[in-house]
Amino acid sequence: MNGTRERTVTGMAEYIERDAAINAFYTATADGDKADWCVGVLQSLRAASVRENVKGKWNADKESPEYATCSVCGHCDWDCTESEYFNFCPNCGADMTGGNDART
């Protein structure tokens, strides 16, 4: 063993803001050399491409009740009578898994 500990991560990945982590290292230690080393490691890692998970719901369109609109972007292109609802908005990507029954 070379003195380093390996941590096994399982389950869903968690993402943090790199600047917040860098500030935390400098705040948590009075030893600037250790903080600089940690920051160097963080800056060497490839950033993940992530976006905030926006929640929305399907709303029945007032002018055409057979269509649903996205509560986030207002996109109206979904014919409720022909097939099942998407679990996301095809226009803005909002997550529609929380309450997506526009027919009620």
pLDDT of residue 79: 61
pLDDT of residue 82: 55
Q: Which residue has the tokens 């600047």?
A: 19
Neighbouring residues of 16: CB distance < 8 A, sequence distance ≥ 6: none
* Spatial distance between the Cα atoms of 57 and 47, rounded to a whole number of angstroms: 30
Q: How confident is the model at residue 1 (pLDDT cuts 50, 70, 90)?
A: very low
Sign of CA dihedral 77, 80, 84, 87: positive
What is the domain partition of the chain in residue ranges?
16-49, 51-104
44-74 pLDDT, tens per residue? Answer: 988 888 777 889 888 877 777 777 888 898 8
Q: What token pair was written down for 2?
A: 């070379």
